[in-house]
Structure formats: structure tokens, C-alpha cells
A and B are shown apart, each in its own frame.
Chain A
Amino acid sequence: MNPFFMSILLIVGLAIFCRTMYYKLWLLLSLEPAYRFNHILTRLKNVVIIALGQKRLVGRKKEWASGIMHAFIFWGFCVLLIRSLNLYGEGFVKGFQLPFFGEGSILGYLYIALKDIMEAIVLVMAGYAIYRRAIVKPERLHNTWEAYFVLGMIVVLMISDLLIDGTRYNLITHYGNPDHLHFLNNPQYGSEFLWTPVAVGAASLVAWTGEGANTTILTGMFWLHIITQLTFLNFLPLGKHFHVITSLPNVFLKSLDYPHEKARVLDLEDEAAWEDESLGVNHIHQLNWKQGLDIYTCTECGRCKEVCPAFVTDKPLNLYDFNESLKHELLDNADNLIKRGKLSAAKTAFGTLTTSILNTIINKSKLPVTLKAVETDPEQMEDIKARMAALNSKNVLVGDVISEDTLWACTTCRACEEVCPVTIEHVPRIIAMRQGQTLMAEAYPKELNVALKGLERNGNPWGIGYDKRADWADGLGVKTMAEDPNVDYLLWVGCAGSFDDRSKKVSTSLVKILQNACISFAILGVEEKCTGDFARRVGNEMLYQMMAQENIETLNNYKVKKIIAACPHCFNTLKNEYPQMGGNYEVIHHAQFIDGLVKSGRITLNKSFEGSLTYHDPCYLGRYNSVYDEPRSILNSVAKEELKELDRHGRESFCCGAGGGRMWMEETIGKRINVERAEEIVRQQVDNVAVACPFCLTMIEDGMKELGKEETIKTQDICELVAKNMV
């Protein structure tokens, strides 16, 4: 078209874009490290399924329409990438064709056909998106001008491209192709027009305007398309649409820990860390770069808050705002953080690099440091440290950036993470911030003190004497590991199952089942201690490590290999977190174990349970460990009636409100989460609700009591239903 104009546009457009990206990248690099470059194949698989396949958008039944809408816009853009390259080429060379996409191969034809239909689909989808935002107004969405502006640009891109083709066809077919425009033509596959019905349609719309107008429209649309595209590209990094660029890398770099990045085992013996206050996260620079990328990538779609039990019950935890606030803090401090990052690199390199290289790093980046001494000069080190400290943001994250109530409202249920289309991990960040609050700032809800003290002294949050831990098993004929360490399984009872009167009945039922199936098992008895789950979720890494160390020592002493856990929180900690500290066991939750017993015929159920029944998925069994089918299979073998699912079940089940240490805190703001859940169960008109977690049992039962429904809707653990219906 016009190589000169094209060059100017490209140079200006790309230069601005690269500058923005360079800055954003530097900012990420100034944050804490995270290693995310292992298991490349798994990572690519994630990209294919989650990002390219748009799994969390199209796979979500509740919102299939908007999911499909987004997926098609995304896929449309992917398809159009090739077309764009062609257009840029066209700017320089008339009739430019990418290799393999010309008329010589079927690929060229297939591509133009696909591009043609995709443009129509994207246009329809963009129309639907505008309609949805403007008319339907789903609550979770933030209606901003930015969203409309981007949708507008998408519409312009599609229409302009269709008109480029349309006018080109008109000039070729109606006006004898005066400019010798190029089009695909091959005796075998025919001419281009046969493959592009939508562009042909567009052509007919403007055919009447005449040769001159068609020529003008063609040129106009071409430059409009290019300019819009470059504007679009430069607009993306400025707001929530940055996700168009960052989503794929964000999914690729997502933590491969299951189900999310595990809390780091902090080195609590590191005196310097205590002095520098670098344990946990209290300032923005303490986030790692992947958490920074998460913040860049948030699409502001609001799916997370919509499923968040805290948000739904009016707690001041709105993940959208949470991300926004962190993003502002990050960007507001960007200049200082980047300088800080460079200093930090210099500090790490100190001693391994020569002074001259170090000088170059620092002088080139115009930092206020002059290096006069050689390697590992402690004074210089202190100097760098002090300068770094001076560059820290003055804001503490909790208090200045987000409120304490926000941080402590989270039940760590992971519903937000499960729905986030771009795999943002909220919970590890929340736990790290809680660590900062608990370890460094001593600013955690003081109501936790009783439970924490109980844990420290007697190994259980109730603070009941540790010597009473096995009292529940009196007279049941249960052995302890001390009595017989050669059993096949260790039954991990947990604190609730040992001390809470209601849960003790569940433990008794479980014992009955195991005995009925002639399983060789024992308990640790008074040697068992809380796994430390709750301490870790409230950021008390010190107490967690204490509990974990003592338990691992006991378990390893007895050479325990297989554990049946009667609580999903214990299950998750034993299975997924103890390996970090040298505790490696085969851990199975009682629902899985019982299901195995039923399937292998070691216990026989007589499907005699009367009344309708539903199941409440515990977060730490479901979302944390993907155990969804086994409990359902057991319940279907016990109950005469088919299991009725709750509205929110499986991956999108709704928390009972007890996780993340919330069990030990009062719920004073908003509606009670357990009541919200109990109401949902009541709406389902069932006679029974089954659970598989002692905390869910307490919370749901309390919720039912609050609603005066405890007599009409019975809450029981799966064990109890099985024990009562065993042959």
C-alpha cells in the first residue's frame, strides 16, 4: 500500500508497545523470585487446555453463553493473527502472501474460509458482549468505558477487515480490477470468492457505491484496520485487557503444586530474616514475580467474587478490589521497586562479580550507589541494604492497602481459584500476607489466641488436656500404635474426632466400619497432635512447623506407611504438606477408603436408608484434593433415593465457613456463611445432608439449628450413614 506510512506506523506503534512492556517486565523482575520453568510439557498442556481451550469458560455450565462468547472472540483473534501478518506485508508489498497461505495450497483456501467465518462469529459475539454489558448487566461485571472501548475496537477490526475483502472483490469482479488486485485463484480450488461467503456478503453491501468509492473504502479500511490494531496493542497493557497478552504466559507459568503454590516452609531459625522482617508478605515488594503477573492478568471478570463465600455473605472481601488495590500499590511504586530490584540483584551478585562489572550495572542504571570497595565489603553491603530499605513502599499491605477484615475474612475455600479463567492464585497470597501479619506485625485477630495456645500446650485447638485425646475410643477395642506398631493402617482421628462430642460419634462409626471390614489398624492415641492445618492457614508458621515436626517424628518412629484420615484438613496437610518437611505417607480420606471397602465387597451396604439426601462437598476434600465421586458413590449405595445435588456442588461447592482458621474466629460481619449454606440445603427440600468433614458437620448442623431445621433435616457424616446401614 504505502511502505513509508506503514513503516512509520509500525515503528511508532511497536516502539511505544515495547517500552511499556519493558517497564512492566522490569517491574516483575524486581519482585521476589519464583521458579516456574520446570515440567515444560505439563505447562504446555495447561496452556492448550486452559488458555487455548478456554476450559474454565466454556466448561462452566452456569455461564456457558458468556463462556462461549469469550472463547469465540479469543479463537477468532488467534485465527486473525495470520491475517494481520498478511496485511502488514501488504503494506509494504502489493499482493503479499505469507508462504503456504497462497493459492498454491489448500491451506490458503482453508485459512481464508476459516478467517471469513470467524470474523462473522466474532462480530456477533462482540455484539452479544455489548448487549450483555449494557442490557443484561450481570452483577459480577464492572461496567467500565474501557470494556466498551475495547469491544468497539473489536467491532471496528472485524468490519474493516470484511470491508477490505468486500471492496477488493467488488473492484475485481465489477470494475475489471483496474489496480491488478490479487486474489486466490486456482483451477483445482476455484477462486477466493467461493470460500468467503461473509466477505462476499459485505461486498454486496457496498457494491452500489461505485468504483471510486470502493477504492477509497478499501484504502480507508486498510489503514483504519492497521491503526486500530496498533492502538489496540498499545491500549492492552494499560488496563484489564493486559490479560490478552499475559494470560497465556500466566497459565504457562502457573504453579504446578497441587492445588496451588504451597506455602513455603519458612526458615524460622534465620535470625536475619526476623531482623529484616522478611518473613511473610507485608510490603508489595515481597510478592513474587508470578504473583505480580497474576495481578497484571486479572481480567476483572468478577467470577471469583461471585463464588466467594465471604463476598456473598457481605464480608469486606471483594477479590476484584483486592487485586485492584495490589495493582495500584505495585504500579504506584513501580519506579522505586525497579531501582530496588536492581540493587537487590547487585547485592546478590556482590562477591561473585568483579567490582567493575558491578560498577557498570549500577552506573548504567543511574542508581544512587557508588562502589568504591571490592567484593563482600560489609559496609557496602549495609549501604545497599539501607538504600533498598529506603526504596520500600511506605505502605504496609494490610492496613494501608487492604483492610484487616478483608484479609481475615477468607476461609481459604479455593472457590475463587477454581473458577478463575486465568488461574490466578489468591489463597497462597492471602496466606503469605497472614504470615506477615502473624509473624512480623503481631497483628492477627486476638480471638485466635485461645485456640493457638491450646495447640501449643495440648496439641489441640480446644486446649483440652492432651492425655484425654484417646478417651473417645475407650471400650471400642481400638489399639494404639504403641501397643501394636505392625498394623496395616494408621487411623488419623484428628482433634475434632477426638475431642468434639458430636464428631466423636463419627470416629466411633468409622471404627465400627473398619472393624466390620476386619481392617488391621491402630491410632496414635495421646501421641497424635493437631496437624497444624489451622495454624498454617492463619499464618502461624511457627506453630505449624512445631506441630508438623512432632507429628512427623512420631509417624516416622512407628514407620507408618498408610494413613486413613478422618478429617479433610488433616488429610490435606498429611498428604500434601508434610512431604515438604520429610513426612511421606500414603494418605487416604475415609470417604475414599470406605468407597474402596464397598467396591471390593469387604463391607456390604443394604441400601436401606430412607428419605431424601444431599451431599455437601468439604473444600479440603473436593477442591483441594479432587475427591468428588467417592462420597457420592457411597451415598448412592446407602440411600434408597437418588442423591439430590445442591445448586452449588462439586468444584463450585460452597464453603461451610470454617476453613482457614475461621472456625476459631467469630463471624461478626454480614450474614453467617453456614446459614447461607444451610438455607441452600433447605431450599433443596431434603431430609438429610451428608458431610465428610467434622468442621462442616458442626457448621451445617449449627446452621440448621439457626434456621430451626435441625429436627427435619439431619446432618450426618458419611461414616454414620454407612455404619447404620451395614449388613
Chain B
Amino acid sequence: MKILTTVKKVVDVELNIHVKDGAIVEDGLQYVINAWDENAVEAAVQLKENNSAETTLVSIGGGDNTDMIRKCYAMGIENGIHIEDPALANADSSAYAKVLQKVYEKDDYDLIITGKQAQDTDSGQTGIILGEYLGLPCVSNVISIEVMDDQHIKVSRLGDTGTEILEMELPAVVTVSDSINEPRLPAMRGIMMAKKKKINVMDLAALGTSAEEVGAGAPQSEIIEFMKSETRQAGQKFEGDAAQITAQVVNLLATEAKVL
């Protein structure tokens, strides 16, 4: 089985992100691998370990992703492709999906695993749009993948009403949730060994496409402005026994919230 997995470099959301004049202040920011993509990589590596599979990852844009890709190698991924093209600067989910479609078409993959969304834009679209473009079955928010035979996998996903279990015919696309696994840390030995490993860096032309074709020149969606979301006010803590607490809460509901 050949597995393709995708990784995106995102802003470390542990940091305070400042917005100025409708744009993110880059100063002091650091970038990390998108957490859900780490789950996707881990899922791919586990499938490789438990079945015979070959794993390839692809990252798109973001400048020099060498470190990130090497760490994925050290987690157990075998091949890495990095697509870097100035035209991708403002790419949206649809453009990413188009690029991925091109990558897919260059080789025959049986399964594509993506994170269910990216921590920066949180749109959760790329994997699903890719499924659509490729005309392949796609299941999102997956929490387990099991190989049934060469042609089929069984996945469970977190649905609105509970866990749904589905069988899929390969090739297929799945987007994974963070409950699917606990990503391993890259093996240190792997990090050292990965230094020698090649990363296949391509621009759109090398991929056999163009900015127009992937729609990167004229994205279907556009970022107009960044705004800082309002920070939630800290809650209030009540102390005392049950009767005292009830009295305090009732009092506040009457005087402050004025709902009583």
C-alpha cells in the first residue's frame, strides 16, 4: 500500500499572536508542524509498521521546511516532497487541494491521510476538497484506521451522534482527528540519519502545473483582515458550603446579571 500524507507548517499557537493593522505581527513568532498533521503522519507510520506500506509526505509552501520534513522522516516517513512556489503565497484550501491532486496524479497512492484541519486557519477543507477533486471517497474526523485487505480499509469517525464505523474502498482520502493517536517524538537516531536523506523540492512547473491551473493566482477565498478575538473574561469562583454558595450565586444573578 502506498500512503500519501500531508503536513503544513503553522504558527505555534502556544504563543501570543499580535495583530497590527489587520495583519499578524511576525516578530517573535515561531512555526511548528500542524498538530493534526502530526497525527496524520503518526497514523501513516503506524499503518506502515503494522502492514506493509510505503509512506510519502508532502508539504506545501512555508519556505524552508527541511527541519520539519526531517523530523517526519525520523518519525518513520520514507519519502518527502516539498512544493515551493511564489505563486502559492496566498493559496487557499482549494489551491492546496489542487496541488495535492497533482502530487497524487504523479504516483499511484492508495490512501491519502491529512490532518482534519490546520491550527492556523482552522478551515478544515483541504482534505475534503481533495477527495472531491480526485473523485475519491473521503471520510473526515477519523479516529481509527484498520486495513481489511488490499482494497479496503475500515475507519471510525467521530460523528455528531457518536462513533460511526465505515468501510472504504481504496484509493481513498481520510482526514484524522487528534484522538486517533499520540504522535511519537522523532527518533533521535532518525533525526541524525535523516540528514542524509533527500527531500524532493519542486515548484509548480516541476510538478507539471501552473499557478493558473491550481487557482493559486485567483484564490476562491481571500483573507481580508486579521482581528484579535476577544479574550473571555475570567470566571468567578465561589467559596463556602453549599448554602453560602447558593446565596452568593442568587445574589449575583439578581444584582449583576439581573435575570432574577
Partners in one complex: yes
> A274-B193, A446-B182 given as contacts; is B14 within 8 A of A457 (CB)?
yes
Roughly how many angstroms separate A449 CA and B187 CA in the complex, as a whole number?
11
Contacts of A449 in B (CB 8 A): 182, 184-185
Q: Does B189 lie within 8 Å of A463, measured CB to CB?
A: no
Q: How large is the interface on A (under 10, 10 to 19, 20 to 34, 35 or more residues)?
A: 20 to 34
Roughly how many angstroms separate A457 CA and B119 CA in the complex, as a whole number?
16
| Binary contact readout B167-211 vs A (1 if CB under 8 angstroms, 0 otherwise) | 000000000000000101101110111000000000000000000
Instruction: Pick the residue among B30, B182, B187, B188 that contacts A457 (CB under 8 A).
Output: B30
Contacts of B28 in A (CB 8 A): 467, 526
Contacts of A271 in B (CB 8 A): 192
Q: Does B192 lie within 8 Å of A274, measured CB to CB?
A: yes
Q: Is A121 an interface residue (CB 8 A)?
A: no
Q: Is B161 an interface residue (CB 8 A)?
A: no
> A457-B30, A467-B28 given as contacts; is B188 within 8 A of A540 (CB)?
yes
Q: Does B185 lie within 8 Å of A453, measured CB to CB?
A: yes
Q: Does A274 lie within 8 Å of B189, measured CB to CB?
A: yes
| Smallest CB gap from A277: residue in B | B189
Roughly how many angstroms separate A446 CA and B183 CA in the complex, as a whole number?
10
Roughly how many angstroms separate A457 CA and B14 CA in the complex, as a whole number?
10
Q: Is A442 an interface residue (CB 8 A)?
A: yes
Q: Is B242 an interface residue (CB 8 A)?
A: no
Interface SS of chain B: helix, strand, loop or mixed? loop
| Binary contact readout B66-90 vs A (1 if CB under 8 angstroms, 0 otherwise) | 0000000000000000000000000
Q: Is A638 an interface residue (CB 8 A)?
A: no
Roughly how many angstroms separate A371 CA and B188 CA in the complex, as a whole number?
37
Q: Does A463 lie within 8 Å of B192, measured CB to CB?
A: no
Q: Give the contacts of A486-540 with B (CB-CB under 8 A).
A: 526, 540
Q: Does A465 lie within 8 Å of B12, measured CB to CB?
A: yes
Q: Does B188 lie within 8 Å of A542, measured CB to CB?
A: yes
Q: Does B184 lie within 8 Å of A463, measured CB to CB?
A: no
Instruction: Pick the residue among B15, B16, B189 that contacts A442 (CB under 8 A).
Output: B189
Roughly how many angstroms separate A542 CA and B30 CA in the complex, as a whole number?
20
| Smallest CB gap from A449: residue in B | B185
| Binary contact readout B25-64 vs A (1 if CB under 8 angstroms, 0 otherwise) | 0001010100000000000000000000000000000000
Roughly how many angstroms separate A468 CA and B28 CA in the complex, as a whole number?
11
Contacts of B14 in A (CB 8 A): 457-458, 463-466
Q: Give the contacts of A425-466 with B (CB-CB under 8 A).
A: 438-440, 442, 446, 449, 452-453, 457-458, 463-466
Q: Which 10 A-B pairs have the closest CB atoms?
A: A465-B14, A465-B15, A274-B192, A442-B187, A542-B188, A449-B185, A467-B15, A439-B188, A467-B16, A274-B189
Q: A542-B188, A542-B191 are in contact. List 13 more A-B contacts (CB 8 A).
A: A268-B192, A274-B192, A277-B189, A440-B189, A442-B189, A446-B184, A452-B185, A457-B30, A458-B15, A463-B14, A466-B15, A468-B16, A526-B28
Chain B positions within 8 Å of A, measured between CB atoms, are 12, 14-16, 28, 30, 32, 182, 184-185, 187-189, 191-193
26 A–B contact pairs at CB < 8 A? Answer: A268-B192, A271-B192, A274-B189, A274-B192, A274-B193, A277-B189, A439-B188, A442-B187, A442-B188, A449-B182, A449-B185, A452-B185, A458-B12, A458-B14, A458-B15, A463-B14, A464-B14, A465-B12, A465-B14, A465-B15, A465-B16, A466-B14, A467-B15, A467-B28, A468-B16, A542-B188
